[in-house]
Chain A
Amino acid sequence: MRVMIQLRPSSDVVAAVADPDLTATAADVADRLPGVVLDDTYTPVAVPHPIPAPGGDPLSLRQPLTYSLAREDASVMVRGEIADDELSTRLNLLPLLRRDVVGVYADPVIETSLVCGGDPAVGDWHDVARLMRVEELHAAGLDGSGTALAVLDSGVNAAHVARQLGRDVTLDTTRSWSPSTVEGAPGEFDVDHGTMCAFDALITAPRASVIDIPLLLSRARGGTAIGGVLSDAVAAFSHLRGVLDAQPVETRALVVTNSWGSFSPRWDFPAGHPGNYSDNPSHPFNLIVASLEQAGADILFAAGNCGGDCADSRCGFADRPIVGANSHPLVLSVGGVDVRARRVGYSSQGPGRLSNRKPDLCAYTHFSGSQAYAPAPDSGTSAACPVAAGLVAAIRTRWPAARLSPAELRTVLRRTADHPSGAGFDHDLGYGIVDPAGVLAALRRRAGA
């Protein structure tokens, strides 16, 4: 364990430490502290001594104090390490063996706090493009051309996306689809969540053909709140099955990005009930997800915004908030990191309810991007999911499902993901952060095999 050790050496040593013109080493101050490996790279620091006013309590810090660095008052801090299995013994023995030891303190790792909802953007979409290795992908011919990208959300405003991206957007109006209760034309919906998702996917796959499915408008009435019901998602996936079946088998490429889910068990049967959704692979929606994946679609779901550090206020599941299809074993569940590669505090942590090893991986979020919520950033795992979907759509340009099945593609993404701690897998980041360079290398190896 890393520790800070406070000592009161001779007044000459204290004076040397306190004098900025002199240099004292850890060995000068603490010479051979038994059981402590001193950190020689850490320059000893003089610690001032609190002095109460005349007549004050010499033991209390709850009074007016002055702080003295005088050689007869001050102490000195050094840094070191004590073996974990000796910690208790050493902490008891040190002050007894060395009368100059005043105290031993923990030296914890300190970090800046995680990004939460409402925090300003961390970087912008050009940072995301750089991290997603967009130039390298496009140089390799992986730009989404010929790939169908279904955005199941609140509808897309294609003109806004094109303006923000600075390039044309391909909208597939023929294969777009709306629930019967939704009015509006594909690509012409108000700028909102779905527009953000389309933009974020097209950062990496700008030539993909967007299939606009305004699923989350099916229950919106009057106000700005958006939402739908799961039975409409069943119908949307059924439509996509038709889209997929109409593609030639040898060139099938359909990527389905879903930045939505169920926040609360309030709308569900309890786990264990045959009609339950959250924990039940036999629910019709979970079945149609499996059926569409088996037919060759790549399906991605946002992991959700119910992370332990700063969960969305709507989160209603007491534990394991990655539920239903968002935790399906045949989809990629995508958590969120900022462009500094740190998990955002709201990104839901596993294990998942249908599959333990969730999320699968993380992609970038909380950046200035689509301006759909300007000046607020593209945020939530809602943004991370289409960022990952853009990579999948780019890969499909040259690697249709007949050449690389959805399961094989998920494996490539998991195996190449970069886990900052080298953990391999954990329930915060899954297998790690998407690594397009690693994916490119893996695909090249596979092509050469």
Chain B
Amino acid sequence: MSLPPSGGGRARNVAPMVLITVRLPLEATLPGAMHHYGLAKDEVDLNYGLVPIDPVQGLYALRVTEDASHRLGMAVEGPYADPKIEPFGPPL
């Protein structure tokens, strides 16, 4: 299945990025995650970084290029929808 349209691309990256999750030890770092998964700098949203989701479970979020996501395949989870979000007011 193809990806849904991204809610918004990041101006500082050329390639469209997708949201994935990875499992790493506690206190993991972005350079460590990139090394672990063999990701190049231009394949990762460096501004977004490595975002802890559940520190106890060692679950983190990353934004990577679609190509990188495909290459990583079953080694990671995702890609996940990254929908546009908007305020609930005033009603239009």
Interface residues of A (CB under 8 A from B): 116-118, 153-154, 180-181, 193, 196, 215-216, 218-219, 226-231, 233-235, 238, 241, 259-264, 266-269, 273-277, 283-284, 287-288, 291, 302, 304-305, 310-314, 346, 365, 373, 376-383, 385
Contacts and interface: CB of A to CB of B under 8 A. Distances in A.
B79 to A, nearest CB: 6
B75 interface: no
A58 to B, nearest CB: 50
Contacts of A234: 19, 51, 53, 61
A231 B88 contact: no
Contact of B7 (A215, A219, A283, A365): A219
Contacts of A313: 92
Nearest to A275: B80
Interface in B51-92: 51-56, 59, 61, 63, 77-92
A181 B11 contact: yes
Contacts of A241: 52, 55
Task: Please list the 10 inter-chain residue pairs (A to B) with the smallest Cβ-Cβ separation, ordered nearest first.
Answer: A380-B89, A382-B89, A117-B91, A267-B83, A229-B7, A180-B47, A219-B8, A302-B88, A277-B81, A382-B88
Pick the most buried of A264, A267, A288, A314: most chain B CB atoms within 10 A of its CB: A267
B48 interface: yes
Given A238-B52, A241-B52, A305 B89 contact: yes
B91 A181 contact: no
A275 B11 contact: no
Given A275-B80, A305-B89, 18 more contacts: A153-B87, A180-B48, A216-B86, A227-B85, A229-B6, A231-B82, A234-B19, A235-B48, A260-B87, A261-B86, A263-B86, A264-B83, A268-B81, A269-B1, A313-B92, A314-B86, A377-B90, A379-B89
Pick the most buried of B51, B55, B56, B91: most chain A CB atoms within 10 A of its CB: B91
A86 to B, nearest CB: 44
A179 to B, nearest CB: 8
Interface size class of B (residues with CB under 8 A): 35 or more
B57 to A, nearest CB: 8
Contacts of B55: 241, 291
A154 B87 contact: yes
Contacts of B48: 180, 231, 235
A284 B61 contact: yes
A311 B92 CA distance: 8
A216 B85 contact: yes
Contact of B90 (A117, A215, A230): A117
A230 B7 contact: yes
B12 interface: yes
A283 B8 contact: no
A181 B13 CA distance: 12
Given A180-B48, A284-B21, A229 B90 contact: no
A310 B91 contact: yes
A411 to B, nearest CB: 24
B61 A267 contact: no
A174 B11 CA distance: 27
A284 B19 contact: yes
Contacts of A310: 91
Given A219-B7, A260-B86, A346 B91 contact: yes
Contacts of A228: 7-8, 84-85
Given A219-B8, A238-B52, A241-B52, A269 B89 contact: no
25 contacts: A117-B91, A181-B11, A181-B12, A215-B85, A218-B8, A227-B86, A228-B7, A228-B85, A229-B85, A233-B85, A234-B53, A238-B52, A259-B87, A261-B88, A262-B83, A268-B81, A275-B80, A284-B61, A288-B53, A291-B55, A305-B89, A305-B91, A312-B88, A376-B90, A379-B89
Given A234-B53, A262-B84, A287 B59 contact: yes
Interface string B14-29: 0000010100000000
A268 B7 CA distance: 9
B5 interface: yes
